[in-house]
Structure 1
């Protein structure tokens, strides 16, 4: 029996992948344009493009408007011990995350605080119609010297902005926006976190410098006011899937004790 023949686009993708791995095309370098490369290889435009798209799906390159496919930097993957304890540091509350309390991360671009149409998920938490303009605090950060690691959007409810205007300001003061909310009567805030994996939107992929084919980890933390018992803030953190892995220590309950007694089923 003869072995199945490898598709031409896959052969081309394998060849370009090797060139990326050996440094022929280093991080930040554009791959050769599709049309002339296809002609040089004696294949169709569609076949060459399929090879590049396969590399994009692997997270090795991404498509950049007016440039083409650009090689991505291989990020360092962080192992994050996943706990559920919120602590207090010199700069305010510290939530379970990929950074240490004493680690100062780089900011990519300018942080933004502006009224922005709310996505459905956020609007539902606040009981408003999707698309309602709400205050959004946005920042893109990473460990020092690394490519963008996370996109963080914090949405404030209309009640939050009304009661604590400084929480919506670009400069919130010591302790950040959360201290301003609690000082305004909403403390102590309680939080609940939801984690899921999804595909990124085009804007998210652009800000995180990843391909739209790269899945992302999304954590959503909803802060509930002690005064109204309603959500007062929603923080959504988006992290490329190749940047982080969550680690949880597993514990035995009393029912799982060792050794097993003879009376217990085996």
Structure 2
């Protein structure tokens, strides 16, 4: 009696993790896997489906089932926002790249600016009435041409009107990014609150982030305050879960 699809999925998973099927390689044809393990093709199909749902492999047209690259980029926690970085021309996503030993350029980030009505979450974070006009700055960030995450920031109009933050040109707002612009506006960031949660992606996010079936996303909410407690920015980020490891270093409070 042949093994079941779960046992076959486990065997294939072990082979992938051991490097028998290295990153970028193609699994043998399903008929070959079936012959090797003494099962029918339907069992192989189900087993491969399990691996797809786990994000280990992905089907590629005219090529087959390819083993996905899973080199997570380190996403710095507190350190990515260090003033010594953005005050001297290093935006947060670039700080992550440098910590991960990866090259980057300003064009790795797109930029789309619009004036919208604040939804309930944006209004609460920025301390304005729901439906009030706010500036929305949406970005898609890529690593070597592969999307890693989106980040959408919201600002009060009186804080950023006429600044590089509302300039729709591609790339970062300035070499130091949005925090450098806020500082020039007398709104130097001093405190940040971040909330992170996991969920499955929407159909639009699947397409934008080029996600395989079954991969979740990490959603980030970030509110940035001045030393006086003024909320200067609220941001939503949607990150491909397999493309980051989240790293936080901090001193324990008394």
After superposition, give the CA deviation of every residue in 1:171-192 in whole Å (9 maximum; x if it has no partner). Answer: 5344333333443x35124442
Q: How does 1:65-84 map to 2 (within 5 A)?
A: 69-75=65-71, 78=74
1:163 is matched with 161
- Distance of 2:69 and 2:100 partners within structure 1: 26
Which ranges in structure 2 are unaligned for 5 or more consecutive residues? none
CA RMSD of aligned residues (A): 4.8
- Distance of 1:160 and 1:225 partners within structure 2: 15
After superposition, give the CA deviation of every residue in 1:192-229 in whole Å (9 maximum; x if it has no partner). Answer: 22232303425555666654534444433223478993
1:111 is matched with 109
- Distance of 2:32 and 2:106 partners within structure 1: 34
Call closer, same or farther: CA 1:197–1:12 in 2, change over 3 Å. Answer: same
Call closer, same or farther: CA 1:107–1:43 in 2, change over 3 Å. Answer: farther
1:258 is matched with none
- Contact 1:107-1:140 at 8 Å conserved across structures: no
Under a length normalisation based on structure 2, what TM-score does the superposition of the two structures give? 0.63
2:47 is matched with 51
Task: Please say if 1:16 is aligned against 2:17.
Answer: no
Q: Point out the structure with the larger helix share.
A: 2
Call closer, same or farther: CA 1:63–1:194 in 2, change over 3 Å. Answer: farther
The structure whose RCO (Cα within 8 Å, separation 6+) is larger is: 2
Larger Rg computed on CA atoms:
1
Question: Post-superposition shift, 1:139?
Answer: 1.4
- Distance of 1:86 and 1:219 partners within structure 2: 18
